[in-house]
């Protein structure tokens, strides 16, 4: 029996900032952001969206009534959690109208956690093939204004339905994981923005990729020639390119060209959104599947997941016939329809998040076109609204 990703759907913000404009505002050359970092646009997440609403907005459009009836496991992976105790998954389950007999849990290990969710969900469905699991990676990447990490911000959520006989990607049972204590990126409990040793984190990322990718080749007697495409966690798209280049010497010149061409497709949508931490790898997968005309059913796709702190995993799946049926086909158009905000508007939105304060607060949500919005806080409780209800 095959088990894997049956559907993928993405949600982000209706707003973005242009990276050339941000570069000029920060006295940087535009090509540093466009080529050196590899980002052309960055999602600007308004205060009416948080990890919960992004997750619900990502999942709701793809779920049928039959899916909702079959889901008995909801995993929300995030490092942008809204509560130190209660799982974001409980709020998301309510907004989505999931069955009350559903196991709901929030997972955390930086940008890696959604992959733990996918692999746990795979095992769950292997034991219960009549059930489905919903895994959502949802985050808002925040380093702070005028920081070196600023051009690598962004945000959004990727929802994935894991089922038996999946439409999109049948996962293999093989994977190689690496987990070690590394202080490359972290967010102390009192911080709303991440602390990061940027250059160190980029080096650790490459070390982890080399370790798990080569470990996978050795463990499974696979060669790089077996892969149609490699997809990466993309904190900024140049990061994945550097990782890919680090293993290209294992391939022939023809294979190198092919892998680079597939990678260009796999980063095309991430270039327009920025980092979304847990969902980033899976936006790259969706980007590949939506924009690469050279893929064929049966192709082996390799996925590299990385979360600072640090944990990495390399795993694989085979593309399924008719995989397009499970994809978020409207995503490129939705990204094209976003509204461009100026740098001052982006800065004001960055500062306008719900305050870490017990006082009641109201958030202006009226311009937010998404179905689920955060409207504020009353009696120290976040207030969520379904605008379609
Ligand atoms: N034209 C073209 N390229 C240019 C250029 C120009 N005019 N000017 C500069 N560049 C290039 C540089 O040569 C450099 O390229 P290489 O990395 O290939 O050498 C690139 O632009 C970036 O320049 P700098 O290294 O000078 O940039 P920086 O010091 O301002 O910071 C950064 C870059 C370290 C990525 C920083 O944005 C950062 O700290 N980001 C957050 C950390 C991060 O994303 N780490 C990734 C691994 S950790 C992870 O993956 C988990 C996660 O999601 C956070």
Q: Do domains 3-169+328-386 and 171-322 have the same CATH topology?
A: yes
Average pLDDT over residues 211-221: 97
Helix/strand/coil for 165 = coil
Give the closest residue (by CA) to ligand 1 atom 22. Answer: 36
Other CB atoms within 10 Å distance of the CB of residue 29 = 12
* CATH dotted code for 171-322: 3.40.47.10
Average pLDDT over residues 229-236: 98
Stretch (H or E) spanning 185: strand 185-186
Residues that are catalytic: 79, 111, 233
- Report pLDDT for 287: 98
Please work out whether the CB of residue 203 comes within 6 Å of at least one atom of ligand 1. Answer: no
Q: What is the DSSP string of 297-350?
A: TT-EEEEEEEETTTEEEEEEEEEPTTGGGGS-TTHHHHHHTPEE--HHHHHHHH
Share of the chain above pLDDT 70, in %: 100
Q: Are 20 and 120 in contact (CB under 8 A)?
A: no
**Given pLDDT bands bounded at 50, 70 and 90, which one contains residue 312?**
very high
**Given pLDDT bands bounded at 50, 70 and 90, which one contains residue 235?**
very high
Average pLDDT over residues 285-291: 98
Kindly give the distance from the C-alpha atom of residue 388 to the centroid of ligand 1, in angstroms, as a whole number.
41
| Buried b / exposed e along 243-270 (16+ C-beta atoms within 10 A) | bbeebeeebeeeebebbeebbbbbbbbb
Going 76 to 140 to 333 to 271, the CA torsion angle's sign is: negative
- Report pLDDT for 43: 98
- Report pLDDT for 55: 99
- Report pLDDT for 42: 98
- Report pLDDT for 344: 98
Kindly give the distance from the C-alpha atom of residue 285 to the centroid of ligand 1, in angstroms, as a whole number.
22
Best probe residue, ligand 1, of 152, 178, 242, 284 (max atoms within 8 Å of C-beta): 152
**Given pLDDT bands bounded at 50, 70 and 90, which one contains residue 343?**
very high
Please work out whether the CB of residue 310 comes within 6 Å of at least one atom of ligand 1. Answer: no
Best probe residue, ligand 1, of 29, 80, 154, 202 (max atoms within 8 Å of C-beta): 202
- Report pLDDT for 129: 98
pLDDT digits (tens, 9 = 90+) for 9-57: 999 999 999 999 999 999 999 999 999 999 999 999 999 999 999 999 9
Best probe residue, ligand 1, of 40, 198, 313 (max atoms within 8 Å of C-beta): 198
- Report pLDDT for 245: 98
Length of the chain: 389
**Given pLDDT bands bounded at 50, 70 and 90, which one contains residue 261?**
very high
Which residues, including other chains, have CB under 8 Å from residue 184's CB and lie 6 or more apart? 196, 197, 200, 201, 204, 308, 309, 310
Ligand 1 atom closest to residue 233's alpha carbon, by position in its atom list: 50
- Report pLDDT for 322: 94
- Report pLDDT for 6: 98
Instruction: Note the pTM of the prediction, 2 decimals.
Output: 0.98
Which residues, including other chains, have CB under 8 Å from residue 32's CB and lie 6 or more apart? 23
CA dist., res. 317 & res. 303, Å (int) = 8
- Report pLDDT for 170: 98
Each domain of the chain, given as residue ranges in start order, spans: 3-169+328-386, 171-322
Going 188 to 204 to 275 to 233, the CA torsion angle's sign is: negative
- Report pLDDT for 92: 98
CATH superfamily of domain region 3-169+328-386: Thiolase/Chalcone synthase (3.40.47.10)
Kindly give the distance from the C-alpha atom of residue 33 to the centroid of ligand 1, in angstroms, as a whole number.
8
Kindly give the distance from the C-alpha atom of residue 204 to the centroid of ligand 1, in angstroms, as a whole number.
14
Kindly give the distance from the C-alpha atom of residue 263 to the centroid of ligand 1, in angstroms, as a whole number.
19
**Given pLDDT bands bounded at 50, 70 and 90, which one contains residue 115?**
very high
């Amino acid at each position: 029996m095959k088990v894997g990703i049956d559907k993928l759907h993405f949600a982000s913000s209706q707003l973005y900032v242009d990276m050339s404009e941000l570069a000029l505002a920060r006295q940087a050359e535009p090509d540093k952001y466009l080529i050196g970092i590899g980002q052309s646009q960055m999602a600007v997440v308004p205060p009416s969206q948080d990890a919960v609403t992004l997750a619900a907005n990502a999942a709701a459009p793809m779920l049928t009534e039959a899916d909702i009836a079959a889901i008995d496991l909801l995993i929300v992976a995030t490092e942008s959690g809204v509560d130190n105790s209660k799982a974001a998954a409980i709020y998301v389950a309510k907004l989505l109208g999931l069955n009350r007999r559903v196991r709901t849990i929030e997972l955390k290990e930086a940008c890696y956690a959604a992959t733990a969710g996918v692999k746990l969900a795979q095992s769950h469905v292997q034991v219960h093939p009549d059930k489905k699991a919903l895994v959502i990676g949802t985050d808002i990447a925040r380093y702070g204004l005028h920081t070196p990490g600023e051009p690598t911000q962004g945000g959004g959520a990727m929802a994935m339905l894991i089922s038996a006989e999946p439409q999109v990607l049948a996962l293999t049972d093989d994977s190689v994981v690496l987990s070690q204590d590394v202080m490359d990126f972290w967010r102390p409990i009192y911080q709303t923005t991440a602390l990061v040793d940027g250059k160190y984190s980029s080096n650790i990322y490459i070390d982890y990729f080399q370790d798990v990718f080569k470990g996978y080749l050795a463990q499974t007697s696979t060669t790089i020639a077996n892969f149609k495409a490699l997809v990466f966690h993309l904190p900024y798209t140049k990061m994945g390119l550097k990782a890919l280049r680090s293993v290209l010497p294992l391939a022939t010149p023809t294979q190198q060209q092919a892998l680079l061409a597939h990678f260009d497709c796999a980063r095309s949508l991430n270039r327009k959104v920025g980092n979304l931490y847990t969902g980033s790898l899976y936006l790259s997968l969706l980007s590949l599947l939506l924009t690469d005309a050279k893929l064929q059913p049966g192709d082996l796709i390799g996925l590299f997941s990385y979360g600072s702190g640090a944990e990495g995993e390399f795993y694989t799946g085979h593309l399924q016939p008719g995989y397009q049926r499970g994809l978020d086909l409207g995503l490129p158009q939705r990204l094209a329809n976003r509204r461009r905000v100026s740098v001052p508007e982006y800065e004001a939105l960055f500062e306008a998040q719900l305050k870490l304060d017990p006082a009641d607060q109201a958030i202006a949500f009226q311009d937010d076109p998404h179905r689920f919005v955060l409207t504020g806080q009353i009696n120290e409780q976040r207030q969520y609204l379904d605008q379609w209800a």
